[in-house]
Amino acid sequence: MKTLRLILGDQLNSHHSWFRKVDPHITYVMMEVRQETDYTTHHIQKVVAFFLAMRRFCTDMQNRGHQIIYIKLDDPENLQSISENLIHLINSLPIEKLEYQLPDEYRLDQQLHEFCQTLEIPWEAVDSEHFYTSRDELASFFRGKKTFLMESFYRHMRKKHGVLMNGTEPVNDQWNFDHENRKSFPDRITFPERDKTRLEILSIIDLIRKCGVKTIGTADEASFPWPVSREEALVDLEFFCERLLIHFGQYQDAMHHSEPFGFHSLLSFALNVKLISPGEVIQRVIQEWEYRPDEIPYASVEGFVRQIIGWREYMRGIYWSQMPDFGNQNFLNHHNPLPRWYWDGNTKMNCLKHAVGQSLEHAYAHHIQRLMITGNFALLAMVHPDEVDQWYLGIYIDAIEWVEITNTRGMSQFADGGLIGTKPYVSSANYIHKMSNYCKGCYYDNKLKTGHRACPFNSLYWNFYDHYRSKLEKNPRIGMMYRTWDKMSSDQKVAILRQADYYLKNVNDL
């Protein structure tokens, strides 16, 4: 009996029970296919990171004695589709059973399920053994509820898994320390040097070019910070615990024009392709805090744990409870195209120039840059969520649909009507000025609402609230905005709305 086991590019979990013993009756298959390089236009670093991580994983598993067929992108036998390569192998080898791990993406889940229905041999789908939760755990937790509040799910996760708990109570008597985590960077601050030159990426770049794969962004050998093996991911986790965790919390929302990474962990790619598990990341972070409780603020630890067992598991649960309908949501009925400068960073708005620019250069922006700069502007400019999704799905190193679409269409674009975020994440220049040093060097004036140097965020912000009054006014978290708006004179309101209208009509020139 020969079994063929498929390993997808984001299933690089060497601790999976599949690999516990070497079995000569089992052959694994991994493949680089145009189906995956072309379903959106990816950042070049993302394609490089996936292929390098897959190749490293394959070599490691082969060294452990497992039989793996690895199909490279330019292999002449490569049929460039997962299903077609599988059927070719099943027909040409004596394969009697197919097994695969449940994919994280709906698209691949459907494809593999439908493919298996056509097979004449038995098949089996098994868990990927990575997440804390099963696909439908969140849906069961919120069954019968109208809103899916992250905070209640997060508390449930803390209790269920005994994370940062003193018996039944949270450590330090409070569940959430977010209020301590909102500082901007001081004028003088030193960011620890990161190791960015770990490996040879040129061969994969050549392969991508030779095969004509369309990509965005740039890749530079001297600036490739992504871990592509479990060992490298563990080195990064150590670096985060030893050097960055201490400041992670307080500066997690802060933005700086010359520092793309701040004190963030850069672990999302390694986590999403399963080189490391959320459980081991959290345990190591908590252990570091237990060693140095007087040095590392508890708010940093709690904030980090919330991102992983809160937001990350929550987004996965939302995805599986809402797909495929979630992919068509457009609550605010937005239809504008994405401004041109999202593709080259060529705008006079300093915050967007830097957030887009660093995304093109590094395939990375941190959460607040994604939410409150690029996402905020797209929402205020009423861009169609499909266009926003495609941009986010392509540009970021960690963008895989289950965690991209929920954050983008849901949290950032309010296209789900408030299932994830209880209010739209929009802001005027005030917030950006408070949390960054972008406004200092900007062509626009963050204090002005009207006039040719007025910051576009200001008028677009009020235009957004005015436009959606009937949809948003009753939201208790927003009511105060309407009271402020109503206090403005009608001349002032007309001027602001005119300014917004001008900016929306000339959005490509901002």
Binding site residues, ligand FAD, CB under 6 A: 264-268, 271-272, 307-308, 311-312, 315, 366-367, 370-371, 375, 392, 396, 398-399, 403-404, 407-408, 411-412
Piece of 163-171, 182-190, 318-326, 433-441 that binds ligand SF4 (CB under 6 A): 433-441
- How far apart (Å, rounded) are the C-alpha atoms in residues 68 and 374? 41
Q: Which of 321, 377, 379, 327 is nearest to 352 (CA)?
A: 377
464 contributes a contact to ligand SF4 by CB under 6 A: no
Least distance to ligand SF4, CB of residue 6, Å? 46
Least distance to ligand FAD, CB of residue 79, Å? 28
Using CB distances below 5 to 8 A depending on partner kind, what does residue 457 bind out of ligand FAD, ligand SF4, none? ligand SF4
Q: Is residue 42 classed as helix, strand or coil in its secondary structure?
A: coil
List C-alpha distances in Å: 453 to 340, 378, 433, 434, 488.
20, 20, 16, 19, 21
Residue whose CB is less far from ligand FAD, 307 or 458: 307
Beta partners for residue 169, in sequence order: 166
Query: Are 317 and 326 contacting, i.e. CB atoms less than 8 angstroms apart?
Result: no
- How far apart (Å, rounded) are the C-alpha atoms in residues 146 and 419? 8
51 contributes a contact to ligand SF4 by CB under 6 A: no
How far the first Cα of the chain sits from its last, in Å, is 64
Eight-state DSSP code of residue 431: H
Least distance to ligand FAD, CB of residue 495, Å? 31
Least distance to ligand SF4, CB of residue 468, Å? 21
Residue whose CB is less far from ligand SF4, 374 or 446: 446
Choosing from 341, 438, 462, 468, the residue that interacts with ligand SF4 (CB under 6 A) is 438
Eight-state DSSP code of residue 454: B
Residue whose CB is less far from ligand FAD, 126 or 149: 149
Residues 337-356 that bind ligand SF4 (CB under 6 A): 349-351
Eight-state DSSP code of residue 438: T
377 contributes a contact to ligand SF4 by CB under 6 A: no
User: Kind of pairing, strands 165-166 and 169-170?
Assistant: antiparallel
429 contributes a contact to ligand SF4 by CB under 6 A: yes
Using CB distances below 5 to 8 A depending on partner kind, what does residue 86 bind out of ligand FAD, ligand SF4, none? none
Using CB distances below 5 to 8 A depending on partner kind, what does residue 80 bind out of ligand SF4, ligand FAD, none? none
Largest Cα–Cα distance in the chain? 80
Residue whose CB is less far from ligand FAD, 6 or 411: 411
Q: Is residue 337 classed as helix, strand or coil in its secondary structure?
A: coil
Using CB distances below 5 to 8 A depending on partner kind, what does residue 446 bind out of ligand SF4, ligand FAD, none? ligand SF4
Residue whose CB is less far from ligand FAD, 90 or 411: 411
Query: Hunting for tokens 């036998």 — which residue is that?
Result: 77
Least distance to ligand SF4, CB of residue 378, Å? 14
Letter string b/e over residues 53-88, b meaning 16 or more CB atoms within 10 A of that residue's CB: bbbbbbebbeeeebbbebbbbeeeebbbbbbebbbe
Residue whose CB is less far from ligand SF4, 61 or 356: 356
Using CB distances below 5 to 8 A depending on partner kind, what does residue 350 bind out of ligand SF4, ligand FAD, none? ligand SF4
Query: Are 143 and 156 contacting, i.e. CB atoms less than 8 angstroms apart?
Result: no
Query: Are 227 and 270 contacting, i.e. CB atoms less than 8 angstroms apart?
Result: yes
Least distance to ligand SF4, CB of residue 349, Å? 4
Choosing from 57, 154, 457, 468, the residue that interacts with ligand SF4 (CB under 6 A) is 457
- How far apart (Å, rounded) are the C-alpha atoms in residues 116 and 101? 13
371 contributes a contact to ligand SF4 by CB under 6 A: no
- How far apart (Å, rounded) are the C-alpha atoms in residues 92 and 83? 14
CB under 8 Å to 68, separation ≥6 — which residues? Answer: 7, 27, 28, 29, 30, 58, 61, 62
Residue whose CB is less far from ligand SF4, 134 or 184: 184
414 contributes a contact to ligand SF4 by CB under 6 A: no
Q: Which of 327, 460, 299, 306 is nearest to 384 (CA)?
A: 327
Binding residues for ligand SF4, rule CB under 6 A, total 14
Residue whose CB is less far from ligand FAD, 154 or 311: 311
365 contributes a contact to ligand SF4 by CB under 6 A: no
Question: Which residues of the chain form contacts with ligand SF4 (CB under 6 A)?
Answer: 349-351, 429, 432-433, 438-439, 442, 444, 446, 455-457
